[in-house]
Amino acid sequence: MTVAVELIVNQLKEVLTEEQVSTNETVRQLHGRDESHHSMSLPDIVVFPRSTADVSAILKIAHVERVPVVPFGVGSSLEGNAIPIANGISIDFSEMNTILEIRPDDLLVKVQPGVTRAQLNKELKKHGLQFTVDPGADATLGGMAATNASGTTAVRYGVMRDQVRDLEVVLADGSVIHTGSLAAKSSSGYHLNGLFIGSEGTLGCFTELTLQVYGIPEFVTAGRAVFATVGDAVSAVTALLQAGISIGRVELVDEASIKQANIYNETSYNEKPTLFLEFHGNEAGMHADIEFASEIFEDFACLSVEFEQDNAARNKLWEARHSLAYAYIHAYPGKKLMSTDVCVPISMLADSVLYAREQLEQVGLAGGIVGHVGDGNFHTLLMLDPNDAEEQAKADRFNEHIVQYALLRGGTCTGEHGVGIGKMKYQSTEHGTSLLVMKSIKAALDPHNIMNPGKIFTM
């Protein structure tokens, strides 16, 4: 421990208890990485706040001492978002994991940032309620707000930004603000809620979140529809959306991925582009929607379609989709998963997926494509050897092509994983002059650039 670090540790121990401040090597290692392929970088210190006051006290010290600070949930980010590349302090929110209030009449819940979505849903279920954002990982809600996470249900319920009614945020100087209210809508003042969500810890630390929840739908039906081409599958979804049919989830899995899932699950599904669907609603409406959807699928030369309403049968039907990442990880022992994350206007999705497949073959990488097809967001799952620089370079080149293709068509380089380290190089192309506006906001709120410095953009 350097003298400089020791000075900070001593100051932190004046405002926190002994066990809330750690410089232990193992603890630092755990906070020096996320689930991405990005290189590890250790924090000098890890702190475990238990209250907003703790977080404020930590930031006051960091602000005065110009120490970088990175908020940390469970480290499930996929673009290095939580890696302390400038070292400093990692603020671990695992001890701020209380569900503070459930207001069933208001369909609202107030939580601390360390609450995970599974923890919240377990509690909400008792009230017949659900929190809808499902990014796959059992991430913390603070982390999900920081990256504007979404996932399979966004097509129906929206992304993280749509669910947050209010945030309590500790700013770089330790001051505490609220960004919204409990009202369902507001035209009062600037929309700070939206600004802080997706800011990836670069503008402040979230210490409380008030989130919108929903009633658990009366009926759920799962479906699987197989198509001859990716184009047909995507066009069918576009037609469904245009018809105003309310889809709970709709995921595209490409043929290479079905093949991988078949190996992993010992199944023998038709190795063709497949849509995995979910419909939510009342029974009568859902049946009408399903009937209408089946007709639309036929118009797009659907090879087969099946629906299941029973819980176990639904899970079985979705298994190939749910197990996809594991299927790849299992098939490539020792390799690390890398995922692209572009989102394009839906009319461009079919061509984008085909382009991704072509590029994949051209650079000679194995991988599968899975798409949140109702939103135009798709991931190419690549398996990389972390010690193989050539393979990494291929993957980077591939990602570059996918992103440039998306940006040229009005899309975004990241639909849900955030910028972190991995998407910084595309910010200027994507945002142009508005990047200057973002930087001026960052400079106004964090003048010493201590909040997760070196993420999203460099100052």
Segment 55 to 74, residues that bind its own copies, using CB under 8 A: none
Helix (H, G, I), strand (E, B) or coil at 151: coil
Site for its own copies in 121-140 (CB under 8 A): 128
**Binding-site member from 40, 99, 217, 220 for its own copies (CB under 8 A):** 217
Compute the distance between CA of residue 335 and CA of residue 395 in angstroms, rounded to an integer.
13
Alpha helices in 108-163 (DSSP H): 117-125, 141-147, 154-157, 160-163
Per CB under 8 A, does 231 bind its own copies? no
Kindly tell me which residue out of 25, 105, 266, 390 binds its own copies, with binding defined by CB under 8 A.
105
* Tokens matching residue 365: 């990488």
Given 416, 450, 451, 452, the residue binding its own copies (CB under 8 A): 416
Among 104, 231, 271, 351, binds its own copies (CB under 8 A): 104
> What is the amino acid identity at position 137?
A
Choice from 55, 124, 225, 456 touching its own copies (CB under 8 A): 456
- Using the rule CB under 8 A, is 312 a contact of its own copies? no
Alpha carbon distance 430, 434 (integer Å)? 9
User: Of 8-27, which residues contact its own copies (CB under 8 A)?
Assistant: none
Q: Which residues contact 44 (CB under 8 A, 6 or more apart)?
A: 1, 2, 5, 8, 23, 28, 87, 88, 89
Rg of the Cα trace of the chain? Answer: 22
Which C-beta is closer to its own copies: that of 244 or that of 364? 244
Beta-strand ranges (E) seen in 203-353 are 204-212, 214-215, 219-227, 249-253, 274-281, 302-308, 336-339
**Closer residue to its own copies (CB): 175 or 311:** 175
Closest to 260 in 3D by CA, of 327, 316, 321, 326? 327
Which of 175/267 has CB closer to its own copies? 175
Q: Is 106 left (phi over 0), alpha (psi -120 to 50) or beta?
A: alpha
Stretch that binds its own copies, among 117-125, 159-167, 295-303, 314-322 (CB under 8 A): 159-167
Q: With respect to its own copies, which residue has the nearer C-beta, 302 or 342?
A: 342
**Stretch binding its own copies (CB under 8 A), from 1-9, 20-28, 241-249, 304-312:** 241-249
Range in contact with its own copies (rule: CB under 8 A) among 38-46, 221-229, 263-271, 368-376: 368-376
Q: Return the residue of 10, 17, 175, 458 that touches its own copies, per CB under 8 A.
A: 175
Interface pattern 425-454 for its own copies (x via CB under 8 A): -xx--xxxxxx-xx-xxxxxx---------
Q: Does 408 bind its own copies (CB under 8 A)?
A: no
Q: Sign of the CA dihedral 201, 205, 208, 210?
A: negative
* 52-65 vs 3-15: helix crossing angle, rounded to 10: 150
- Give least dist CB 6 to its own copies, A: 33
CA dihedral 169, 171, 177, 179 (to 10 degrees): -60
357 binds its own copies per the rule CB under 8 A: no
